[in-house]
Chain A
Amino acid sequence: MCFERFKALIFSAFLLFLYGCHSSRDQEDYNVFHYNQINPITSLDPAFAKSQNNIWACNHLFDGLVQLDDSLNVIPSIAKSWSISDDGKIYTFDLRQDVYFHKNDCFAEQSRKVNAQDFVYSLGRLLSEEVNSPGSWIFSNIVEDAGSFQARDDSTLVITLNKAFLPLLGILTMEYCSVIPEECVEYYGDRFRSNPVGSGPFVFKRWIENQGLYLLRNDNYFDPNVNKDLDGVKTSFITDRNIAYLELLKGKVDFISGVASSVINELLDADGNLKADKADKIKLYKSPYLNTEYLGINMSLLEDGPLANKKLRQALNYAIDKKQMMASLRNNAGTPALSGFVPKGLPSYDPNKVKGYAYDLEQAELLLVESGYSKDAAPIEIHTNKDYLDITTYVAKQWERLGVNVEIKLMESAVLRDGMRNNRFQLFRASWIADYPDAENYLSMFYSKNPAPPNYTRFQNLKFDQLYEQSLQESNDSIRYDLYQQMDRIIVEEAPVIFLFYDVTSKFVGKNISNISNNALNLLKAKQVIKEKSQ
């Protein structure tokens, strides 16, 4: 009997222990910026910074030659200045001499200065077949091989292109182009992905995969404009957007990007601003987001199907009431795509010069008749995944009202993406986020010599190709923007896509957070963030 009692006692003690086991260490002196990411980080190696989850963390750990300011201008980072040869093929960078790598065991003497040779190594590594970096495409058509990157001396880096390519500076701001020390990559080998050594504003401390990442401020950082009061950055990976949002309301998380569509109505009013009762707990920063949401049409699969007819594609574009769609499905968080494919937020965006498809049912009906669409035609299949289902359903309803037979094919994201790549779907739901802030990144999706991706629509147009090639060599901004707009008008006219909307970024932060970077690429720069301690 004693034994049974003892067992019960042990059990209650165990329950109490489970419950009461908190760390009682004093953490209040630390000023840590804590953000949540829905998708876990897959690697801290910048050569694998392929998506936002990895990019944000790498942006805190590493630096490149150049960086973007919040208006998306290219500004110096480790490169103090640069010059471009007259033929646009040779870029010469003058590097700072006061940048050091983070202290680490992989160095013979704790740390060392960043030099031009490190960039030669880091950029060349992206092209290596052993690494198979997802970032290899950035140089794939513009440099010969790794020998195109050369160090003239410790502080001078020369990049030789095989053709003039003006968006190069934009490309160099990407996280892929961060500088890493060769000896550390060799020292850690396959484990470099979880033992990153860079020169960025924060130093790696701890990563428990899928659970948390902790970075400490780099006291030796070269840029004096970082917030020295911030001790560290912590990332958690709560996978459910609703729960992340609740944690933000509780003040346990300082920052989240975007919320689940199920709480949008509770959170935002009809204009997409924070409702008054939420505004005393959190703040919202909005900015255009370089993300165009669209339905793509695979032009190579149409044969004699109805979509092969340009007038039908135009009719389908006219038939969608995008303003109402945004108001009812997104609380106006996002801009209806009434211009071309190049989204709001890029300097060459001008809805007056590129006029897209405003809602016009009469015009749509007229075009439908002209296209000779038969009511008995087999339904047009829209391939989508569940994230896009609400928008797709809305579009399908609008098309049915026009008199077009539509069927929605719901599938796993992986299957959708594979089908888009491998020529399996005529019509698919997709979006394109700018890799670097240049309209070229969007227009390259319709250049016939590009494979899929980026040319998912397999669009082919001689005039377009000529304009595209011309634009790559045009150094005068206003002429180049004019070329971009001409190309965009061709896309509108030929309609290889159904335009939906230009996205916005929604950054939700706690009341005590300020100076959060707000830019159209949705970058997070924790080095500037100010966190006031709650008393």
Chain B
Amino acid sequence: MMQVLIQKIFTGILILVSVVILVSTIVYLAPVDPTSLTFGQRSDQRTVDSKRSALGLDLPLHKQMTFYLRDISPFVIINKSDKVLKYYEGVGVDIGDKRLIMKVPYLRESYQTNRPVSNILSEAIPLTLLLAFCSFLIAIVLGITLGIVAGINHGTWIDKMIIAFSTVGYSVPSYVSAIFLAVVFAYILGDLTGLNVQGSLVEINDIGDDVIVFKNLLLPAIALGIRPISVVAQLMRSALLDSFSQDYVRTGKAKGLQYYTIVLRHVLRNAMNPVATSISGWLASLLAGAFFVENVFNYRGMGLVTVTALVNYDIPVILASIIFICGVFIIINILMDYIYAWLDPRVSVI
């Protein structure tokens, strides 16, 4: 068991490193000098060159890549005189004139702002996770409710409406629904709802204090949640319909239980299985959708950070975002293998 896990983690790291190499090759080979973008409309060559060498961009590609991998690796052996040492946070032991260090990955500084990338990410990641969590919550609660309502009212106009809604919801990409929601609820009905078209979770008020504006989370979370809502509603409905023909429902009725008790206590529990297994599928699409939704609502999460970095060729931020996203996918995949096994004993992790 443990061996399998270690093997999986090792494969994950291998994937991560290959992704870093692949992406950094593409980024570094792009016909753009990222340093020139950090200057204004005028600059002098001496400073541009000095900045290039400070950022290591004058080195051959393979060296740039090795240095980057060294910076992000948690273990490293390095010359004691190396200048980069001051950026490494961790513990180390001396081996001759070298030093073995166990450290936090050093993600460097943004070319555009000189701000540490770890700092940028630690601000953006929680915002994206919160957004994903809220849409997850909305999806589960609304999806299950709609699914139950549709299932109970099977064949009626309510059922058909819900089916129609969820079909549309599933087919519409999140950036379309995001723009639609923004236009309808924040612009046309803006005076009524009081929602902002754009805005992030934390804002500064008129006396210079931070305020948390939860309402700015509402539309992005719904926009991101629409697809999962539709999936859950459909799965829930069909699972419910299947369960109704089961023996235990008839037994429940015979016992004289109330209709809603049967649905909520027995049918629902049995119908949850396929829903739970589908969740892993959305986590990935949630993250992808967050990129679009964040850009529409100007919500300062990972999506917006990555897109802005791509436009500005801000290489350290691009690479760090990709490592993060890739890491999340790898972890989700490993976890899901185990969750499947746990949900269904017939599956085993190999």
Contact = CB atoms under 8 A, between A and B. Distances in A.
Interface string A3-34: 01001100100110111011101010010101
Report whether over half of chain A's contact residues are helix, strand or loop; otherwise say mixed: mixed
B31 A451 contact: no
Q: Which of A11, A23, A240 has the most CB of B within 10 A?
A: A23
A136 B44 contact: yes
B115 A435 contact: no
Interface in B79-97: none
Given A18-B215, A243-B197, A30 B207 contact: yes
Nearest to B300: A210
Contacts of A206: 204, 208-210
B47 A132 contact: yes
Contact of A433 (B41, B43, B112, B218): B41
Contact of A134 (B39, B198, B300): B39
A412 B198 CA distance: 25
B50 interface: yes
Main secondary structure of the interface of B (DSSP, over half): mixed
A129 B50 contact: yes
A43 B40 CA distance: 13
Contacts of A239: 198, 298
Contact of A8 (B141, B209, B260, B298): B141
Interface residues of B, number: 61
B205 interface: yes
Contact of B50 (A19, A21, A132, A205): A132
A132 B54 contact: yes
B58 interface: no
Best-buried of B205, B208, B214 by chain A (most CB within 10 Å): B208
Contact of B211 (A4, A23, A134, A412): A23
Interface in A388-435: 412-415, 417-419, 421-422, 424, 432-433, 435
Given A136-B47, A137-B47, A414-B313, A32 B40 contact: no
A42 interface: yes
A10 B112 CA distance: 43
Quick one: which of B123, B141, B204, B209 has the most chain A CB within 10 A?
B204
B311 A412 contact: yes
Contact of A418 (B31, B115, B209, B212): B31
Nearest to B111: A42
B203 A414 contact: no
Contact of B206 (A30, A42, A415): A30
A140 B109 CA distance: 26
Contact of A417 (B36, B54, B115): B36
Interface string B171-211: 00000000000000001000000000110101111111111
Q: Name, among A134, A193, A238, the residue most crowded by chain B CB atoms within 10 Å (CB to CB).
A: A134
A190 interface: yes
A43 B114 contact: yes
Nearest to B202: A208
B333 interface: no
B113 interface: yes
Given A1-B260, A27-B207, A30-B207, A140 B44 contact: yes
A224 to B, nearest CB: 24
Contacts of B242: none
Contacts of A236: 203
A526 to B, nearest CB: 15
Contact of B203 (A8, A212, A422, A435): A212
B32 interface: yes
A421 B114 CA distance: 23
Interface in A433-487: 433, 435, 451, 453-454
A193 B265 contact: no
A454 B120 CA distance: 33
Interface in B264-302: 264-265, 268, 298, 300
A246 interface: yes
A417 B120 CA distance: 26
A48 B47 CA distance: 13
Contacts of B210: 206, 208
A163 interface: no
A250 B315 CA distance: 38
A112 B268 CA distance: 71
Nearest to B37: A414
B215 A211 contact: no
A51 B38 CA distance: 10
A58 to B, nearest CB: 13
Nearest to A445: B42
A496 interface: no
Contacts of B112: 42
A239 B145 CA distance: 37
Contacts of B137: 11, 14
Contacts of A418: 31-33, 36
Contacts of A129: 47, 50
Contacts of B33: 418, 421-422
B32 A11 contact: no
B261 interface: yes
Contacts of A27: 205-207
A412 B31 CA distance: 11
Given A1-B260, A1-B261, A136-B47, A208 B204 contact: yes
Contacts of A451: 44-45
B312 interface: yes
B154 interface: no
A208 to B, nearest CB: 6
A240 B203 CA distance: 17
B51 interface: yes
Contacts of B255: none
Nearest to B47: A136
B264 to A, nearest CB: 5
Contact of B311 (A22, A136, A414, A454): A414
A340 interface: no
A133 B202 contact: no
Given A137-B43, A243-B197, A214 B113 contact: no
A209 interface: yes
Given A23-B209, A25-B209, A213-B204, 12 more contacts: A4-B264, A21-B213, A23-B205, A34-B206, A50-B40, A132-B47, A134-B40, A190-B109, A206-B204, A246-B197, A412-B32, A453-B41
Would you list the 3 A-B pairs with minimal beta carbon distance, nearest first? A50-B40, A137-B44, A212-B204
Interface of B: 30-33, 36-47, 50-51, 54, 109, 112-116, 120, 123, 137, 141, 145, 187, 197-198, 200, 202-215, 217-218, 260-261, 264-265, 268, 298, 300, 304, 311-313
Interface of A: 1, 4, 7-8, 11, 14-15, 17-19, 21-23, 25, 27, 30, 32, 34, 42-43, 48, 50-51, 129, 132-137, 140, 190, 193-194, 205-206, 208-214, 216, 232, 234, 236, 238-240, 243, 246, 412-415, 417-419, 421-422, 424, 432-433, 435, 451, 453-454
8 contacts: A14-B137, A23-B209, A136-B44, A190-B109, A206-B204, A209-B120, A412-B32, A414-B313
